[in-house]
Amino acid sequence: MNAVLHEDPYLESWRWMSRQIRCCLEPNEPRLIEHYLNEGRYLACCTATHPWTIAETAFRLLIDTATDIALPWHWRSQCLDQAWRPLHDLETLSHCACRLKRWQAFAWQLATCELLPSISVSDWVQGSSDE
């Protein structure tokens, strides 16, 4: 029970960083991604949170953010550039056939990821078309 209690502040901090990354709250701070990944590694090695869960969550966050055309291009590129790191962790943790299959699907997703241009602010539609 102590491990779970000890985990909570770190897990909450990690989740807050994930929201900052996903919503691009700090677009000119690429070190946030590095800090997020390091905090995840701490959670994986020093708390009850399973390393596979941490790595998969981080990978999905970075891929989802990279492919979100509503976010700035440079932020999306940073996320895509760092997605290999949790993917590498997943490969290391792929000790069974089911995890290896999931890792292969994630690796394919990263290998075939194509960044579409970001939507410019002038392209955003405000309100409905009949106003």
Q: Dump pLDDT digits (tens) for 11-37.
A: 999 999 999 999 999 999 999 999 999
Helix or strand holding residue 26 (H, E): none
- The answer to whether 39 touches 13, Cβ cutoff 8 Å, is yes
Q: Is residue 121 part of a domain?
A: no
Give the pLDDT confidence of 82-115 residue by residue, as tens digits: 999 999 999 999 999 999 999 999 999 999 999 9
Predicted local distance difference test score (pLDDT) of residue 6: 58
Predicted local distance difference test score (pLDDT) of residue 8: 81
For 20, phi and psi rounded to 5 degrees? Answer: -60, -40
Q: Is residue 120 part of a domain?
A: no
CA distance 42 to 52: 13
Mean pLDDT, the chain, whole residue set:
90
- pTM, two decimal places: 0.86
- Count the domains in the chain: 1
Q: Is residue 119 part of a domain?
A: no
Return the structure tokens found at 99: 């995890």
Q: Is residue 124 part of a domain?
A: no
Over 50: is that where the pLDDT of 1 sits? no
Q: Is residue 63 part of a domain?
A: yes
Q: Is residue 131 part of a domain?
A: no
Q: Biggest alpha carbon distance in the chain?
A: 58
Predicted local distance difference test score (pLDDT) of residue 10: 86
Q: Is residue 103 part of a domain?
A: yes
Return the structure tokens found at 54: 């941490």
Return the structure tokens found at 16: 């807050």
Q: Is residue 14 part of a domain?
A: yes
What residues contact 125, with CB distance under 8 A and at least 6 apart? none
**Domain ranges, residue 40:** 2-114
Predicted local distance difference test score (pLDDT) of residue 47: 86
